[in-house]
Amino acid sequence: MLCREMFRLAERFTEKQGQYLAFMYNYRVMFGRPPAEADLQRFFGATPPTVHQMLRKLADRKLIRRTPGQARSIEVFVDPDEIPRLVWPR
C-alpha cells in the first residue's frame, strides 16, 4: 500500500476503531449476523459504556449504522480492503 493510501486510511479511523471494524466485519463473515455489543465487550475486555461510546463514534463518522431498538443491527460501511487485520487484544 502506498504511503499516501495509508495516510488516507489513518485519517478515516484510529487503530482502535479499525480493530472494532475488523471484529464486526469478521464476526459477520463467520456467523452470518452482526455481533451484539456483549460480543464486542467480551472480545475487547471493555465495559458496556466503552463499547457503546465506540459504536456511537463509529456511527457519527458514518463508518457503521445501527437501527435503534433492534438487536444485532450493526452494518459496516467500510470497504473490506480498507479494514485492518484483526489482532487478538492483549
**Separation of CA 36 from chain center:** 12
pLDDT of residue 8: 52
Q: Which fold has domain 3-79?
A: Arc Repressor Mutant, subunit A (1.10.10)
**Does 1 score more than 80 pLDDT?**
no
Helix (H) or strand (E) holding 75: strand 75-76
The 10s digit of each residue's pLDDT in 31-88 is: 999 999 999 999 999 999 999 999 999 999 999 999 999 999 999 999 999 999 999 9
**Does 6 score more than 50 pLDDT?**
no
**Does 30 score more than 70 pLDDT?**
yes
pLDDT band with cut points at 50, 70 and 90 for residue 12: confident
Q: Which three cell numbers stand for residue 20?
A: 472494532
Give the CA distances from residue 62 to residues 36, 47, 56, in Å, rounded to whole numbers and listed in that order: 19, 23, 10
Length of the chain: 90
Structural domain boundaries of the chain?
A: 3-79
* Amino acid at residue number 88: W
